[in-house]
Homo-oligomer: A and B are copies of this chain.
Amino acid sequence: MAPGRHDRDSVTTLALDLLDRVGLPDLSMRRLAAELEVQPSALYWHFANKQELLAAVADRILSRIPQPEPGTDVTEVATGIRDALLTYRDGAEVVMSTYALRLGARRAQDALQAVIGDAASADALFEFILGHTTLVQQRMHAQSIGAATDAADDPAADLDAVFRAGIRAFAALSVVQDPRS
């Protein structure tokens, strides 16, 4: 239980835990340092900056995506990705915020490309899942704050209908291989 001696992995683990407890806006370097019982400057021995820390957190989140077994369909893979993003609070936003910088970690796209022929379509589907899940998690937070949302509607029911509509569009592609339109 000595206060000190952390490494990249243990810092990332606590960052992920803190993210889930307080959300992305309150995940600060200073607060993370306090939980590690360490000065804020100590974090910069492990990570060059906050972006790099968030990239490590994003990779952890994406590591929960199941590898598709033979015979899996588009809906199953897409749902697996969405659920991985939903596992931690604000998970989708963290992944989005580091998407451009993350080297490697193409686990999601690879999984989708295994069930969708075209690479561009697989990327497009991943971008839909990211966008959709980000908005779902935002709405979760807005609701917990008690803020007025756009909707005079049921809170979660039709969100899933939107997800299914998106999946249906891309699933059609994998069946109807388009005849050079």
Q: Are B101 and A161 in contact (CB under 8 A)?
A: no
| B-chain residues with CB within 8 Å of residue A12 when the two chains form the complex | none
Identical subunits present = 2
**Within 8 Å of chain B (Cβ to Cβ): is A69?**
no
SS class of chain A's interface: helix, strand, loop or mixed? helix
Contact with B along A114-146 (1 / 0, CB 8 A): 000010110111011111101100110110000
Q: Tell me, yes or no, whether A168 is within 8 Å of chain B by CB.
A: yes
Segment of A13-21, A38-46, A59-67, A172-180 engaged in the interface with chain B: A172-180
> Can you give 17 A-B contacts (C-beta < 8 A)?
A97-B138, A100-B142, A101-B142, A101-B150, A102-B150, A120-B158, A124-B162, A125-B169, A127-B128, A127-B131, A127-B135, A127-B162, A127-B166, A128-B128, A168-B178, A169-B170, A172-B176
Interface centre among A131, A141, A158 (most CB of B within 10 A): A131
Per the bound structure, the CA–CA distance linking A155 and B67 in Å amounts to 29
